Chains A and B, each alone.
Chain A
Amino acid sequence: MKTLLQRTLGPLTAVTLALTVWLGIWVTPPDKVQGDLARMLYIHPALAWVALYVSFGTVVVASALYLWPRTRSLTVDRVAEAALEVSIVFIALTLITGSLWGRPAWGVWWVWDARLTSTAIMGVLELGIIALRRANLDPDIRARRSAVLALVSALNVIIIHFSVTWWQTLHQSASVLAPGGKLEVHGSMLWTMLLSFVAFTLLFSWLTRERYRLSVRRAGRTSDVLQAALAQRQAEGVPR
């Protein structure tokens, strides 16, 4: 029996996303400095939040659980696989929306800035993990190797997070919560931004759940095909 959360996840995601778009484009005022361009900040930071912290955080936790013998299971490997694929989609969107903001704000589509470059490297690392998964057919070897690479790749998330303070970057430093805990965004702009974080986190949960179910169905189908092939071979071996 489905729980209330399972039943409401899809509709809740759709409603919060629709509210974010409505508030972000039609309700919130234009920014004093950036004008309408600030409306991009109701999607770009939330996309990055999901890509790097929520999705890849899930990959890291699931990978660590797989490598720990007591918690090793195909379930946690499938969770890692699902969250990884969702993370790649969100990283791509983070880079695209950042570029669409950068063109009018900075005058360039792309710059080899520490934050941008390290985020792009994260996308390449995640594609590498996907490639590694496809190169290994043995489920255990595949899960172990991709889990190790995911944990190594997690170091890059730390680099991305601190890149704006470790290096002189074109990308601005923390702009919602400034160092010292002072809020830099207020009123409807703040609430819309917070709602966008909730909406995209819910969307991550929904997409990851659906991707996980796909892995389970595929595993079941592979098992059925294998059983059918074994039964056929056994039938061939029976003397007539």
Chain B
Amino acid sequence: MKYVIAGYSVTGVVLAGYALSLWWRSHRDVD
């Protein structure tokens, strides 16, 4: 089960990180 938890966690972190990077890049460009 540890590999499954790792897979779901990595997927969640990477996708959330990418979404945050879009938000950050968008606000950085405005400032």
Contact = CB atoms under 8 A, between A and B. Distances in A.
Interface of B (DSSP majority class): helix
B14 A92 contact: yes
A93 B18 CA distance: 12
Contact of A100 (B10, B15, B26, B30): B10
Contacts, number: 62
Given A89-B15, A207-B19, A221-B29, A96 B4 contact: no
A217 B11 contact: no
Contacts of B10: 93, 96-97, 100
A206 to B, nearest CB: 8
Interface residues of B, number: 18
Interface stretch (A32-40, A116-124, A137-145): A32-40
Contacts of A101: 3, 7
Contacts of B29: 214, 217-218, 221
Interface residues of A, number: 29
Interface string B11-31: 100110011001101100110
A43 B19 contact: no
Interface in A9-44: 21, 24-25, 36-37, 39-40, 43-44
Contact of A93 (B6, B15, B23, B30): B15
Interface string A166-209: 00000000000000000000000000000000000001000100
A96 B14 CA distance: 11
A103 B3 CA distance: 8
Contacts of A100: 3-4, 6-7, 10
Contact of A207 (B1, B3, B18): B18
A44 B7 contact: yes
B1 A217 contact: no
B17 to A, nearest CB: 9
Interface of A: 21, 24-25, 36-37, 39-40, 43-44, 47, 86, 89, 92-93, 96-97, 100-101, 103-104, 203, 207, 210-211, 213-214, 217-218, 221
12 contacts: A39-B4, A40-B4, A43-B11, A86-B18, A96-B14, A100-B4, A101-B7, A207-B19, A210-B22, A214-B25, A214-B29, A221-B29
